[in-house]
Amino acid sequence: MSLYVVIGYGPAGAATARLLAGQGHTVRVVTRSGRSPEPGIEHLALDAADSGRLTEAARGADALFSCGAPPYPRWAAEWPALSASACAAAEATGAVLVMLGNLYGYGPVDGPLTEDLPLAATGPKGRVRAAAWEQARALHEQGRIRAVELRASDFFGPGVTGGGHLADRVMPKLLRGKPVSALGDPRAPHSWTYIPDVARALAEVAGEERAWGRAWHAPTAPALSTQEMVDRLAAEAGTGPVQVRPLPPAVLGLAGLVSPLLRELKEVRYQFARPFVVDTGAYEAAFAVRATPVEEQITATVEWWRARTGTAG
């Protein structure tokens, strides 16, 4: 079995670490705060932006999964050091660098998102995510590291909390049959990437040499609008129909005066103002992992949120 190091223990990092441990691998998770050990998972408390300490943690690893992220309002300031440290650790140890990316780097585009689009974001969060991959890709092309990036759309599913658009701001209210708010147009088609599928795809590309050196879009189910997702979630929960109220830009602006997270969402509001659809055909043509059927995603997510909130079925 292999040793894998996972940076970050948010929804994607936790799902990936647990998947790999369940496959019998040794897993080492790096976070600033650390955690108590879990079966098959060692937790280390260190700052992943410290390349020296991260390199020591990654000694002997077959792959280094970069799934961590700074707090949303500090992306522009802290991403460069974090990505540079991951690259340095990969170069020093020979571990394959598996980066979890998102779709911010493309900026607003017309039509489905494909991996061959230019990274033309104009906002600071999009630019910093694009720069992280460009740095790793350049080092890969120079033969100094082996790197691959998996790009996902908005996370959805068990374990997705915090800033997830179908998470804390929606699910507790939905389970009580209360109206929920949404960014942009709640009827615009939108791609949602199921978090267990992210973990399975990250594990797959780590072991596929033909995947390395480029970016791939994670397997993602066909796009559904926020309204359609809420309708399905509410139907599964038995609380529907649930009203979805668009959050007007003026209200978002006022809320941003007191909420740093909402203030930062202004940069990516375009993703919810019109169709935002990711094309995953390239991945599906090359590899085995497929998106979990939406019905299974919905059932698992409602069950997880019921357990988390103590809401009866």
Contacts of 127 (CB under 8 A, 6+ apart): 76, 105, 121
CA dist., res. 224 & res. 242, Å (int): 16
Please give the pLDDT value at position 289. 98
The tens digit of pLDDT for each residue in 209-222 reads: 999 999 999 999 99
Q: Sorting pLDDT into bands at 50, 70 and 90, what band is 72?
A: confident
Closest by CA to 112, choosing from 219, 191, 221, is 191
Q: Sorting pLDDT into bands at 50, 70 and 90, what band is 69?
A: very high
CA dist., res. 238 & res. 83, Å (int): 44
Q: Sorting pLDDT into bands at 50, 70 and 90, what band is 269?
A: confident
Q: Sorting pLDDT into bands at 50, 70 and 90, what band is 183?
A: confident
CATH homologous superfamily for 3-154+192-217?
NAD(P)-binding Rossmann-like Domain (3.40.50.720)
18-26: long-range contacts (C-beta < 8 A, 24 or more apart)?
Answer: 18/199, 19/196, 19/199, 19/200, 19/203, 20/203, 23/203, 25/1, 26/1, 26/2
| Average pLDDT score over the chain | 94
Tokens at 86, concatenated: 């991951």
- Lowest average pLDDT, out of 17-26, 81-90, 156-165, 190-199, goes to 156-165
Closest by CA to 30, choosing from 5, 62, 56, is 5
Looking at residues 261-278, what average pLDDT do you find?
A: 86
Q: Where exactly are the structural domains of the chain?
A: 3-154+192-217, 158-191+222-276+293-309
Looking at residues 112-140, what average pLDDT do you find?
A: 96
- Is it the case that residue 258 has pLDDT exceeding 90? no
* Phi/psi at 118 (5° precision): -70, 150
* Contact yes or no for 32/91 (Cβ under 8 A): no
Q: Sorting pLDDT into bands at 50, 70 and 90, what band is 1?
A: confident
Please give the pLDDT value at position 162. 83
Looking at residues 148-177, what average pLDDT do you find?
A: 94
Total length of the chain: 313
Rg (CA), the chain: 19
Contacts of 113 (CB under 8 A, 6+ apart): 103, 106, 217, 276, 277, 278, 279
CA contacts within 13 A on the Cβ side of 245: 11
CA dist., res. 276 & res. 280, Å (int): 13
- Is it the case that residue 312 has pLDDT exceeding 80? no
* Contact yes or no for 246/185 (Cβ under 8 A): yes
- Is it the case that residue 166 has pLDDT exceeding 80? yes
- Is it the case that residue 73 has pLDDT exceeding 70? yes
CA dist., res. 273 & res. 122, Å (int): 17
CA dist., res. 266 & res. 280, Å (int): 26
Calculate helix-pair angle for 294-309, 226-237, nearest 10 degrees: 60
Looking at residues 153-181, what average pLDDT do you find?
A: 93
Closest by CA to 149, choosing from 71, 64, 72, is 64
Please give the pLDDT value at position 253. 66
Please give the pLDDT value at position 265. 76
DSSP 222: P
